[in-house]
């Protein structure tokens, strides 16, 4: 799956455009950034309902290519600027967290860890 597929599956809207052709291998859905930081996975997408600059910083540390804001949440200008300088794609989807994760999962994206 590539970033563009995530955008299509979640019927999302691009807020900040990075590399849409970058491959995505795993996903992580959480509002707790420390939980995200606890599991290093390569080439991941982060789904979150949290809207603050630390979401982008977390993605930066984890080498994540893409952040999806669920439930139609819109990040402010400072968050968008930060993502721009880091080359991270920001997507907004109207789906709620559970549904958004489920849609990606049923389309073949896994959590990347065995339980």
Residues that bind other proteins (CB under 8 A): 31-35, 37-38, 40, 48, 50, 52-55, 57-58, 60-63, 78, 86
CB of 89 within 8 A of CB of 64?
Answer: no
Q: Which is nearer to other proteins, 11 or 35 (CB)?
A: 35
- In 3D space, the residue among 89, 103, 106, 82 whose CA is nearest the CA of residue 9 turns out to be 103
User: Cα–Cα distance between 61 and 21 in angstroms, integer?
Assistant: 21
73 secondary structure, DSSP code? -
- In 3D space, the residue among 84, 19, 71 whose CA is nearest the CA of residue 45 turns out to be 19
Q: Which is nearer to other proteins, 72 or 87 (CB)?
A: 87
Give the three-state DSSP class for 1: coil
From the CB of 75, what's the least distance to other proteins, in Å? 12
From the CB of 11, what's the least distance to other proteins, in Å? 25
C-alpha R_g of the chain: 12
From the CB of 26, what's the least distance to other proteins, in Å? 14
From the CB of 12, what's the least distance to other proteins, in Å? 21
């Amino acid at each position: 799956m590539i970033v563009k597929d995530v955008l299509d599956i979640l019927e999302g809207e691009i807020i900040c455009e990075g590399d849409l052709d970058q491959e995505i291998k795993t996903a992580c859905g959480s509002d707790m950034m420390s939980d995200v930081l606890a599991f290093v996975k390569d080439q991941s997408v982060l789904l979150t309902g949290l809207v603050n600059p630390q979401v982008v910083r977390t993605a930066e540390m984890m080498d994540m290519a893409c952040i999806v804001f669920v439930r139609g949440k819109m990040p402010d200008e400072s968050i968008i600027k930060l993502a721009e300088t880091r080359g991270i794609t920001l997507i907004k989807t109207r789906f709620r967290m559970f549904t958004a994760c489920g849609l990606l999962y049923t389309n073949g994206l896994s959590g990347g860890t065995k339980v």
